Chains A and B, each alone.
Chain A
Amino acid sequence: MRFDSQGALRSIAERQYVDTLIVPLAELAFGEEMVRKAESYEVIHAVTVETERQLSGRTMLSPTISYVDVEAGVKLVEDVVSNAGSSGFSHVLFIASDVRFKPYDLPILFVPPLALGSMSGDQAHTLVQNFATQVITELSSRWMAT
């Protein structure tokens, strides 16, 4: 479900079934970098929306968390994980394309920062489907493990 009033009500009512939070994690930049960051965000957004569409009965799609500084981003991620965890979201998965998070031990799945805008509609669709399938596989294996 989505992070809107209806989704929130349903997620509280069905908390035993809705135990997974998907969080888009995107870098915000304003200079020359802006275009590339926006491209990464497009991929992250498309993949998270598609994942939620396919798994809407067990997952909630969080609003995007954005950061301008990686250190602060790490802090945000840790806060979300601990808060969500204590409220019954036993699985929290972030989707990001910033490899600077790799050294930290965080539940992040990385998608490559490709320029969807320069592809044909079909290509972009296939690509997003493939990444969403990876996320779904990752989540399924986590669900199976518990």
Chain B
Amino acid sequence: MAQNGSKVTRRQFLTYTLTGVGGFMAATLISPMVNFAIDPVLKKSGAGDKVKVISLDDITTEPQRVDYKKQTQDAWYEFEETLSAWVYKTESGEIVALSPICTHLGCQVAYAGDPTRPTEFFCPCHLGRYEKDGTNIPGTPPTAPLARYEKEEKDGFLYLGSPVAQ
């Protein structure tokens, strides 16, 4: 049946061709499905990204609140989250960026929020108190110190990442 010089029969040729084409079609169908199923894994996590918040020159030894926005992704839903940080310089020049979230139930603390204690962070919700360095004061509701943001100093600006519990 095979013609001279050819080692592939007509039947084999058709089998190979159909398998090849069929495989290609199956791949076309399946690959988007696989892609779809594992999509959350492929998406880049925004957690490690740092956001520019304030010029280094504007940071003083007195804690100040800076508000900034960060693109956040919650599964499929992307939104702009408003975040705050209390930023100051220590005597030795080290920059501290504290998260304002009270470790008790999540209200926002304010530096000198209680005028009678001008060098403490104060939570108006349940009267929690923290030292200037974020240490919780025993006898008040919070049981852990304020979180500190991951930080980076670059080109004269302070960049903040995710808060890290202390």
Contact = CB atoms under 8 A, between A and B. Distances in A.
Interface residues of A, number: 18
Given A17-B126, A136-B124, A143-B124, A56 B106 contact: yes
A58 B82 CA distance: 19
Interface in B102-141: 102, 104-108, 123-126
Interface pairs A-B: 3 shortest CB-CB: A57-B105, A58-B125, A57-B107
Most buried by A among B104, B105, B108: B105
A79 interface: no
Given A58-B125, A58-B126, A125 B67 contact: yes
Contacts, number: 39
Interface string B90-104: 000000000000101
Nearest to A16: B126
Contacts of A36: none
Interface residues of B, number: 12
A58 to B, nearest CB: 4
Contacts of B105: 14, 17-18, 56-58
A116 to B, nearest CB: 14
A29 interface: no
B67 A55 contact: no
B125 A55 contact: yes
Contacts of A18: 105
10 contacts: A14-B105, A17-B105, A18-B105, A54-B107, A56-B107, A57-B105, A58-B107, A58-B125, A59-B125, A140-B124
A53 B82 contact: yes
